[in-house]
Amino acid sequence: MWFPLALVVAVLTSVQDVLSKNLVKRTNVYVVTWAWWFFTLPVFYIVQIFWKMPVLGPVFWPTLCASTVLLTLAVIYYIKALEATDLSLSVPMLSFTPLFMLFTSRVMLGEVPKPLGFVGILFIVAGSYLLFVKDMHLGFLAPFKSLLRGKGPRYMLIVAVLFSISGNLDKVGVSNSSFVFWNLMLDTTSSVLLTFVMFKKCPQALGEIKKDLKGLVSLGFVNAVCLMVQMSVITMTLVPYLISVKRTSVLFSALYGFFFLKEKGIKERVVGIVLMLLGVFLIGFLRN
């Protein structure tokens, strides 16, 4: 049951990427980051009204504080990465998150993937590497050198590290409350923190919000639905599996960037994308 829902998360994540990429072309990056969380709140508050209030576990509040800080930093870098470079170059860096989670999930949750699941995760990471295949004639390490030269991919790699920690905190938070209440509280605290950041970095924020209110609200709504599905899945399987499948959003984002945003180089990256999808197949269907 978890696998199709994880694919839904992947599609919604791709939609978020496209909306964010379009918004940062005309709206301040800190306003877009703030809207990402603030406009999810109406959805979560409405759902919580009809949802049973959970009994909070002993580590709920410290987990919430830690997750708020990590997530705020991650989303700021995420939007900056989308602003700095092509979707098809920045977004695939998130595929390193499952690799980092092989270590963070084991330490934080005691979760260890089965052999085929482990191979699937490595395939996804290898696919990310091959996205830079156009530079391979410069040497085996050329793709990573390209990664370090490019501001967008570098920012997104930082996001991958932060997400590899916060993803585990999400599971702890949901286990100590409910997926609805965890979403509600995490988005509330993140929105408060990002409000201060936004007005400090962008004094004209209110004007920016009014200028593109419809687009910002749309971004928040898609994020709300995506998070609701993701947090409902997170207790059904290992976190590295969920995040690995979620990262297939790279395929949808890269194709959209090529067909609609006229980004170049998609043909050179097909092998990497296919390898990622093979890894997802191993995780979703053969890991047992």
Q: What is the pLDDT of residues 9-65, one digit of tens each?
A: 888 988 887 888 788 888 888 898 899 889 999 989 998 998 889 999 999 999 999
Q: Is residue 288 part of a domain?
A: no
What pLDDT was estimated at residue 247?
73
Q: Which residue has the tokens 């409910």?
A: 178
Question: Does the residue 199 lie in any domain?
Answer: yes
Between these two residues, 272 and 171, which has the higher pLDDT value?
A: 171
Q: What is the pLDDT of residues 78-90, one digit of tens each?
A: 878 877 777 566 7
CB-based contacts of 267: which residues, under 8 Å, 6+ apart? none
The yes-or-no verdict on residue 188 having pLDDT over 90 is yes
In a domain, 84, yes or no: yes
State the Cα–Cα distance between residues 102 and 180, nearest whole angstrom.
27
> What are the angstrom distances between the C-alpha of 195 and each of 39, 202, 206, 211?
12, 10, 11, 17
Distances from the Cα of 184 to the Cαs of 37, 41, 263, in angstroms? 10, 7, 36
Mean pLDDT over 116-144 rounds to: 68
* Average pLDDT of span 173-177: 93
> By mean pLDDT, which of 175-184, 231-240, 245-254 is the weakest?
245-254
Residue 141 falls inside a structural domain = no
Please, where are the H alpha helices in the chain?
A: 2-23, 29-38, 41-49, 60-84, 87-90, 97-109, 115-130, 142-149, 151-175, 179-201, 205-211, 213-233, 239-246, 249-259, 270-281
The answer to the question of residue 235 being in a domain is: yes
Where is pLDDT greater, at 176 or 234? 176
> Highest-confidence range of 8-22, 137-151, 211-225, 227-241, by mean pLDDT?
211-225
pLDDT at 166 over 70: yes
Question: Which residue segment(s) compose the domain that 199 sits in?
Answer: 2-110+152-264
pTM above 0.95, yes or no: no
Is position 24 within any domain? yes
Give the pLDDT score at 263: 67
Task: Give me the pLDDT at residue 105, please.
Answer: 87
The answer to whether residue 270 scores a pLDDT higher than 60 is yes
d(CA 55, CA 58): 10
Does residue 270 belong to any structural domain of this protein? no
Q: How far is CA 19 from the centre of its chain?
A: 14
Task: For residue 145, tell me if it sits in a domain.
Answer: no
pLDDT per residue over 6-15, tens digit each?
888 888 988 8
User: What average pLDDT score do residues 112-118 get?
Assistant: 79
Q: What's the number of domains the chain is made of?
A: 1
Statement: residue 137 has pLDDT above 90: no
Q: Is pLDDT at 138 greater than 70 in this prediction?
A: no
Is 204's pLDDT higher than 80? yes
